[in-house]
């Protein structure tokens, strides 16, 4: 029997540094996605300094879902993780942390799809989209650290 097992029973005492990382990463993700939402709805100029395909990606048919920009879903995703983590810190109710830790799985899988879309369907890269994928991947990996920590390991 392996010492690592996916378990929700460890959620009452996750490593504190992971909770801080969750707050920082989800806040950065919210800012990133919110900038793209503002660009979409308010026409704020898009500054693309690292890659040169932001416009192509954000104007492609894959940039919205039923007319709603994917960036808005991203902003809501990051805000949900941020507020669920805050709620856990305030109440110590592990249900809030459970959802905060499960959301990045969906975010990670969706980010993989969006990377595929940029690489093979749009054939252009958006630095803000790549940043979001990176942040979502980090959140996913941190979730795994909590779920897969050895039994009896609880770090303050």
Digitized pLDDT (tens) for each residue of the chain, 156 residues in all: 455 445 555 566 899 999 999 999 999 999 999 999 999 999 888 889 998 899 999 999 999 999 999 999 999 999 999 999 999 999 999 999 999 999 999 999 999 999 999 999 999 999 999 999 999 999 999 999 998 887 655 544
In 3D space, the residue among 128, 131, 111, 109 whose CA is nearest the CA of residue 56 turns out to be 128
Integer-rounded Cα Rg, in Å, for the chain is 17
In a domain, 72, yes or no: yes
In a domain, 155, yes or no: no
Buried b (16+ CB within 10 A) or exposed e, 99-133: ebbebbeebbebbeebeebbeeebebbbbbbbbbb
Tally of domains in the chain: 1
In a domain, 127, yes or no: yes
Helix (H, G, I), strand (E, B) or coil at 131: helix
Q: Supply the pLDDT for residue 147.
A: 87
Distance CA(115)–CA(97), nearest Å, equals 27
In a domain, 27, yes or no: yes
- The backbone torsions φ and ψ at residue 117, rounded to the nearest 5 degrees and listed phi first, read -60, -45
Q: Write the CATH number for 128.
A: 1.20.1440.130
Q: Supply the pLDDT for residue 88.
A: 97
Judge contact between 3 and 133, C-beta under 8 A.
Answer: no
In a domain, 92, yes or no: yes
Q: Supply the pLDDT for residue 9.
A: 57
What the block records as the tokens of 35 is 């900038």
Domain encompassing residue 37: 11-44+53-147
Q: Supply the pLDDT for residue 108.
A: 98
In a domain, 125, yes or no: yes
What the block records as the tokens of 69 is 């920009």
In a domain, 110, yes or no: yes
Q: Supply the pLDDT for residue 131.
A: 98
Distance CA(149)–CA(156), nearest Å, equals 14
In a domain, 156, yes or no: no
């Amino acid at each position: 029997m392996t010492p690592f097992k996916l378990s929700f029973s460890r959620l009452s005492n996750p490593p504190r540094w992971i909770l801080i990382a969750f707050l920082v990463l989800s806040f950065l993700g919210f800012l990133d996605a919110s900038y793209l939402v503002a660009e979409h709805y308010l026409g704020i100029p898009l500054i693309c300094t690292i890659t040169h395909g932001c416009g192509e990606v954000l104007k492609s048919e894959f940039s919205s879902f039923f007319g709603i920009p994917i960036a808005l879903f991203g902003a809501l995703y990051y805000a949900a993780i941020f507020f669920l983590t805050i709620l856990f810190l305030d109440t110590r109710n592990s249900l809030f942390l459970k959802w905060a830790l499960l959301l990045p799985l969906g975010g990670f899988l969706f980010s993989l799809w969006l990377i595929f879309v940029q690489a093979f369907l749009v054939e252009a890269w958006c630095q803000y989209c790549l940043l979001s994928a990176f942040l979502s991947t980090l959140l996913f990996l941190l979730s795994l650290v909590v779920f897969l920590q050895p039994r009896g390991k609880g770090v303050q």
